[in-house]
Amino acid sequence: MLKFNLKQALWDYQARTGIKMSYEELSGDTDISIETIKSIATRQNYNATFKVVSVISKSLGIDPTDYIEWETNE
């Protein structure tokens, strides 16, 4: 399963900009529901769409491939 590491992306954004962005702020910046943002960040098996990952990545100014991980289901 592909997983988008949103928490790491937000930590890296803060380290790069000095701005701590909350889930609520990210939701407002991207027009992605707060429930979806929280699910991406906290639910182990949540499958974010490429569109959502793209919108978040654009908002944070990141390369999404740096935050996508492959997890095997063992």
In this predicted structure, the answer to whether residue 74 has a pLDDT above a threshold of 80 is no
For 68, the 3-state DSSP assignment is: strand
- The pLDDT confidence band at residue 1, using thresholds 50, 70 and 90, is confident
Task: State how far the Cα of 69 lies from the Cα of 56, in Å rounded to an integer.
Answer: 16
For 21, the 3-state DSSP assignment is: coil
In this predicted structure, the answer to whether residue 65 has a pLDDT above a threshold of 80 is yes
pLDDT digits (tens, 9 = 90+) for 14-34: 999 999 999 999 999 999 999
What CATH code is assigned to 2-70?
1.10.260.40
Q: Could you tell me the residue ranges of all domains in the chain?
A: 2-70
